[in-house]
Chains A and B, each alone.
Chain A
Amino acid sequence: MKKPFDLKADYQPEKFTFKNKKAVQEIIARYPKGRQRSAVMPLLDLAQRQNENWIPRAAMDEIAEIIGQPPIKVYEVATFYSMYNLAPVGKYLIQLCGTTPCWLCGSADIMKSCEQHLGIHNGETTKDNLFTLTEVECLGACVNAPMVQINDDYYEDLTAERMVEILEALAAGKDVPVGSQTGRKCSMACSGPTTLEDQAKKAGVA
Chain B
Amino acid sequence: MPKLTIDGMEIEVEPGTSILQAAEQLGVEVPRFCYHDKLTVPANCRMCLVEVEGGPPKPQASCALACADNMVVHTNSPMVKKARTGVLEMQLINHPLDCPICDQGGECDLQDQAYAYGFDRSRYHESKSAMPDKELGPLIKTVMTRCINCTRCVRFADEIAGTPMLGQLNRGEDSEIGTFIEQAVDTELSGNLIDVCPVGALTSKPYAFTARSWELQKTETIDVHDAVGSNIRVDSRGNEVMRILPRLHEDVNEEWINDKTRFSYDGLKKKRLDRPWVRGDDGKLHEASWDDALTAVAAQLKKTKPEKTAALAGDLCDLESMVALKDLLGSSHFECRTDRTFFDVSERCGYLFNTTIAGIEKADAILLIGTNPRHEATLINARIRKTWLEKQIKIAMIGEETDLTYPYEHLGTGPQNLEKLIKAKSGFAETLKKAENPMLIVGMGALQREDGDAVQNLAREAAETFGMVTKDWNGFNVLHHAASRVGALDIGFYAKDGFNLADMSLVYLLGADDFDMSAISKKAFVVYQGHHGDAGAARADVILPGAAYTEKDGLYVNTEGRVQMAKRAVNPPGDAREDWTVLRALSGHMGKALPYDNHVQLRDRIVKEWPHMGDIDSTAPAEWKKFGIKSNVLKNNFKPLSQDFYLTNAICRASATMNECTTEFHTESQKAAHMQAAE
- Of the 9-residue stretches B1-9, B168-176, B309-317, B538-546, which lies at the interface with chain A? B168-176
> Known interface pairs A70-B164, A72-B164. Does A7 touch B181 (Cβ–Cβ under 8 Å)?
yes
Size category, A interface: 10 to 19
- Residues on B with C-beta less than 8 A from A70 are 164-165
B137 at the interface (CB under 8 A from A): no
Listed residue (A70, A72, A76, A80) with the most chain B CB atoms within 10 angstroms of its CB: A72
Q: Tell me how far the C-beta of B183 lies from the nearest C-beta in chain A, rounded to whole angstroms.
A: 10
A185 to chain B minimum Cβ distance, whole angstroms, is: 36
**A76-B181 in contact (CB<8A):** no
**A71 contact set on B, CB distance < 8 A:** 180-181
Nearest-Cβ distance from residue B166 to partner chain A, whole angstroms: 7
Say whether B167 faces chain A, with CB atoms less than 8 Å apart: yes
| Chain A contacts with B in 52-84, Cβ cutoff 8 A | 57, 70-73, 75-76, 79-80
**Which A residues from 1 to 37 make CB contacts under 8 A with B?**
1-2, 7
Q: Complex Cα distance A73/B166, Å?
A: 9
* Separation of A7 and B167 alpha carbons in the complex (Å): 16
Tell me, in angstroms, the Cα distance from A123 to B370 when the chains sit together: 57
The answer to whether B168 touches A57, judged by C-beta atoms less than 8 angstroms apart, is no
CB distance from A70 to the nearest CB of B (A): 4
Beyond A72-B180, A79-B169, A79-B180, whether A1 also contacts B164 by CB under 8 A is: no
The answer to whether B338 has its CB under 8 Å from any CB of chain A is no
A1 x B169 contact (CB < 8 A): no
A71 to B164: give the CA distance in the assembly, Å: 9
Would A72 and B170 count as touching, CB distance under 8 A? no
* Chain A residues, Cβ within 8 Å of B168: 76
Residues from chain A with a CB closer than 8 A to the CB of B167 are: 72-73, 75-76
CB atoms of A57 and B181 under 8 A apart: yes
Q: Flag whether B179 is at the interface (Cβ < 8 A).
A: yes
Contact A7 B165 (CB under 8 A): no
Q: Which of B170-215 contact A (CB under 8 A)?
A: 170-171, 174, 179-181
- Size bin of chain B's contact surface: 10 to 19
Complex Cα gap A185–B165 (Å): 50
* Residue ID in chain A nearest B163 by CB atoms: A70
Q: How far is the CA of A124 from the CA of B548 in the complex (A)?
A: 62
Q: For B166, list chain A residues within 8 Å (CB).
A: 72
CB closest chain-B residue, reference A80: B171
Q: Shortest CB–CB separation between residue B391 and chain A, in angstroms?
A: 15
Q: How far is the CB of B151 from chain A (nearest CB, A)?
A: 10
B169–A75 contact, CB under 8 A?
yes
CA distance A101 to B170 in the complex (A): 26
A75 to B169 alpha-carbon distance, docked (Å):
7
Which B-chain residue is minimally distant from A1 (CB atoms)? B174
Q: Is the CB of A2 within 8 A of B170?
A: yes
Report whether A7 and B180 are in contact in the complex, using a CB–CB cutoff of 8 Å. Answer: yes
Please, which residue of chain A has its CB at the minimum distance from the CB of B164?
Answer: A70
The answer on a CB contact under 8 Å between B174 and A75 is: no
Bound form: Cα–Cα A80–B170 in Å: 4
Q: A123 CB to closest chain B CB, in angstroms? A: 14
* Residues A76 and B169 in contact, CB atoms below 8 Å apart: yes
Is B179 a contact of A79 with CB atoms below 8 Å? no
Q: When chains A and B are docked, how far (Å) is the Cα of A75 from the Cα of B182?
A: 13
Contacts of B165 in A (CB 8 A): 70, 72
Which residues of chain B from 342 to 375 have a CB within 8 Å of any chain A CB?
none
Residues of A within 8 A of B169 (CB): 75-76, 79-80
> Which of chain B's residues has its CB closest to A75's CB?
B180
The chain A residue sitting closest to B179, CB to CB, is A72
Which residue of chain A lies nearest to B166 when distances are taken between CB atoms in the complex? A72
Q: Which residues of B contact A76 (CB under 8 A)?
A: 167-169
Chain B residue with Cβ nearest A61:
B181
What B residues does A73 contact at CB under 8 A? Answer: 164, 167
- Nearest-neighbor residue (CB-CB) of A69 within chain B: B164
Q: Which residues of B contact A75 (CB under 8 A)?
A: 167, 169, 180-181
Q: How far is the CA of A80 from the CA of B179 in the complex (A)?
A: 14
Task: Output the nearest chain A residue to B165 by Cβ-Cβ distance.
Answer: A72
- The residues of B that contact A72 with a CB separation of less than 8 Å are 164-167, 179-180
CB distance from B389 to the nearest CB of A (A): 15
| Chain A min CB distance to B192 (Å) | 18
CB-CB nearest in chain B for A72: B167
Q: Across the interface, which residues of A come within 8 angstroms of B174, CB to CB?
A: 1-2
- A7's nearest neighbour on chain B, judged by CB, is B181
On chain B, the residues within 8 Å of A79 by CB distance are 169-171, 180
- Most chain B CB inside 10 Å of its own CB: which residue of A7, A71, A76: A76
Q: Bound complex: CA of A57 vs CA of B174, how far in Å?
A: 20
Most-contacted residue by chain A among B164, B165, B180 (CB, 10 A): B180
A76 CA / B181 CA spacing, docked (Å): 12
In the bound assembly, the distance between CA atoms of A57 and B165 in angstroms comes to 15
Complex CA distance for A57 and B179, rounded to whole angstroms: 13
CA A72 – CA B161 in complex, angstroms?
15
Instruction: Give chain A nearest CB distance to B499 CB in angstroms.
Output: 51
**How far apart are A86's CB and chain B's nearest CB, in angstroms?**
10
Q: In the docked arrangement, what's the CA distance between A7 and B181, Å?
A: 7
Chain A residue numbers with a CB within 8 Å of B170 are: 2, 79-80
- A68, chain B: closest CB distance, angstroms: 11
How far apart sit A73 and B167, CA to CA, in the bound complex (Å)?
Answer: 7
Q: How far is the CA of A2 from the CA of B181 in the complex (A)?
A: 17
CA distance A72 to B164 in the complex (A): 7
Shortest B37–chain A CB gap in Å is 24
Q: B164: which A residues are within 8 A, CB to CB?
A: 70, 72-73
User: Scoring B residues 139 to 168 as 1 if CB is less than 8 Å from chain A, else 0, what string do you get?
Assistant: 000000000000000000000000011111
From residue B104, how far is it (CB to closest CB) to chain A in Å?
Answer: 25
CB distance from A2 to the nearest CB of B (A): 6
Residues of A near B171 (CB, < 8 A) are 79-80
| Docked CA distance A75–B183 (Å) | 14
Determine how close the nearest CB of chain B comes to the CB of A138; give it in whole angstroms.
Answer: 14
- In the assembly, what is the distance between CA of A124 and CA of B165, in Å? 32
| Residue of B171, B174, B179 with most chain A CB atoms under a 10 A cut-off | B171
Distance of A28 from chain B, by nearest CB (Å): 20
Q: How far is the CA of A7 from the CA of B180 in the complex (A)?
A: 9
Q: Which residue of B lies closest to A81 (CB)?
A: B171
CA of A201 to CA of B479, assembled, Å: 80
CA distance A76 to B168 in the complex (A): 6
- In the complex the two chains form, what is the Cα distance from A75 to B180 in whole Å? 7
Given A71-B180, A75-B169, A80-B169, 12 additional A-B pairs, CB 8 A? A2-B170, A2-B174, A7-B180, A7-B181, A72-B164, A72-B166, A72-B167, A72-B179, A73-B164, A75-B167, A76-B167, A76-B169
A-B contact pairs, 28 of them (CB 8 A): A1-B174, A2-B170, A7-B180, A7-B181, A57-B181, A70-B164, A70-B165, A71-B180, A71-B181, A72-B164, A72-B166, A72-B167, A72-B179, A72-B180, A73-B167, A75-B167, A75-B169, A75-B180, A75-B181, A76-B167, A76-B168, A76-B169, A79-B170, A79-B171, A79-B180, A80-B169, A80-B170, A80-B171
List the 5 shortest-distance A-B pairs measured between CB atoms, nearest first: A72-B167, A70-B164, A75-B180, A76-B167, A79-B169
Using a CB–CB cutoff of 8 Å, the interface residues on chain B facing chain A are 164-171, 174, 179-181
A-side interface residues toward B, CB under 8 Å? 1-2, 7, 57, 70-73, 75-76, 79-80
